[in-house]
Structure 1
Amino acid sequence: MTDSDQHRPEIVVGLVATPPDYPARVAALLTAELADRLADQVDADVLWTVRDGWGEVAPRRDGGAEALLDDLAQRRTDEQWDVAICLTDLPLHAGRVPLIAQSSVQRRTAMVSLPALGLRQLRTVRAVVPNLVGQLLADASERRRPAARVGAVHRVIAAADAGEVRYVASRLIGRVRLLTGMVRANRPGRALLGLSKLLVGVFGTAAFALTTSTIWQMGDALGGLRLTIIMLLGLTGLVAWLIITHDLWEKPDRDTPAELARMFNLGTILTLALATAVSYVVLFLGTLLAAALLIDTSVLEQTLQRPAHATDYLTLAWIISSLATVGGAIGSELEDEETVRAAAYGHHPEPTGWRDDQKRPSGRD
């Protein structure tokens, strides 16, 4: 600490990730630069100190933003922070519109719902968090001034005393942004890489089907419409099988409101749909390459009893990939239960090793 720092007032900002899964990764990236951003955007004459921490692995769902702020206020008091900000991946609503952030001057806390920020979450949270800290520390006249312009924020709802402020999204575009943000927060790449045994089963089924001439004839007889229907049925069946077999469906109960359960289930479906769609494209390209290398044109012509074209190999890869996708569901039964359940939006694995090893999650927005 320099001599100039010793004469500046210190403000400690706590940054809490709840649950400590994806939000912890965003918090780790933000912590490294938040002090400088606060000096630039809020007050350069203050010595800013940022403390980061983890919230509950399974935060309270029934109380929404208020429950998060209550828990955060207790954490702020215990840690002796001046203000505290919570980053969460819970999809929250104010009325019937997505809630982006909420601040409470009385509790000196604020929370940000990362999914409501859409795909560019780190970029947006860099602008939102310094603004929230400034609002919490400002006097009453300053708090009446409009918040910094953030594209995701459609409307600002302030209480009569200006102590409670909600930042909400638009009804239509905000819901679309919320859904894409949920998929982003749920990390479909983790689901894709985690289902390794499923992919092995899919490729094994495709290899077997590639040597069956009856499949060649079926592909030739089916039109584009029926092949599309088979593909969609295969992908839908695989997603449904994963959800049912591994109990990924979130059921409403006294701790989980029906609306939140629906959002969790939609996030799970979209995550698995994206992961299986990417795996289907990889399977299609691999099958097409294998068919071009292993099946001679003359052999294909003899089976089809007509001249073969490049489109015939595309059709062959198409039907085999669709049928193999259904067969891949068998491989999903062999997956580790915890690996598959990581694709469920409402499930958060215990973050063993991060804190003890003092490792920082890494990643890019």
Structure 2
Amino acid sequence: MQKFSAQEMQNQVQLYSDYFFNAGFPQGQPVVCPERRWTTWSTSLACGSGLAVNDKGAQLLVKPCVCTLCGKSFSNNSYLAIHTRSHTGERPYICDVCGERFNRSNHLNDHKRTHSGEKPYRCEICGEQFVKSGNLVEHKRKHSGERPFHCDVCDKSFARMSVLYRHRVIHSKDRPYKCDLCDKRFTRKGALHRHERVHSGEKPFHCDVCNKSFAHSESLSMHKAIHTGEKLYRCDICDKRFGNRLYLHSHKKIHSEERPYVCNECGDAFKRSGDLNAHKSTHSAEKPFRCELCDQRFTKNSNLHRHKKLHLAKEGTAQEKEKTKFNIAPLANSF
């Protein structure tokens, strides 16, 4: 299958954006959706592009609906409305089981299957089943070895577009959304809005059991598990369950071979951002984790935990010696 770089995909998005200002269908270069996932009404589920056919029968990308906030264009107003929620942070679709919110109804439907255990999408090669069709598409690439998403800077290829986007942050320092209070910058406007609640103290999400309030809906969902003891979030690969979505998200990286977090010092790659942060400390003299018993310092929290066990073991040995000494003394006096 042909590889598509991020720039090529962006070029396709911009192609024929002036469709509304021309009579009839645009004439020009035929294009295809990178995912080749077309619906019956000729709109791509992968990138939201519409298809038109000119007088020569060539398929042409059409996106007449333009976002006034960022300039991105879409094939119809429905896709534009969904996109606009990425700027506003609106998530109108709510899970009636755990309270998690979503910006699209189909994302809510996919999420509900994590509670029900339903896996309607089955791999015909190995029989593995999945909650989402997208997970099946990604899984099949493990069998084929296909990596269609290509970085146009360093020539690396990826099986998923989301991993390519995360990877590209390594090459670009562009963070256009800046907090006016602390100058911290973000790649997305929604992330900036979430951050601004740190300064404002706004906590719009309330627990109906104990009335505790939270800044984010995800935090409320995690908190509710304390009251119920339920583990609502289920891994669709190994069936392990978790009390909150973040733990599940971190766990699922164990199953993936993707290592999107790359050290800019030595090039080592990691599955989780926390592993990368721990690794980075090996390049510096910084040892932020201190033992409060002996003041020894460590680069990793896990090393500190192992060290503390030595203190516990020594303490246990000393206590055993005291007990032995106490028990033997009377025996010695009895003879």
TM-score by length of 1: 0.22
TM-score by length of 2: 0.23
Q: Work out which structure has the larger RCO, using CA pairs closer than 8 Å and 6 or more positions apart in sequence.
A: 1
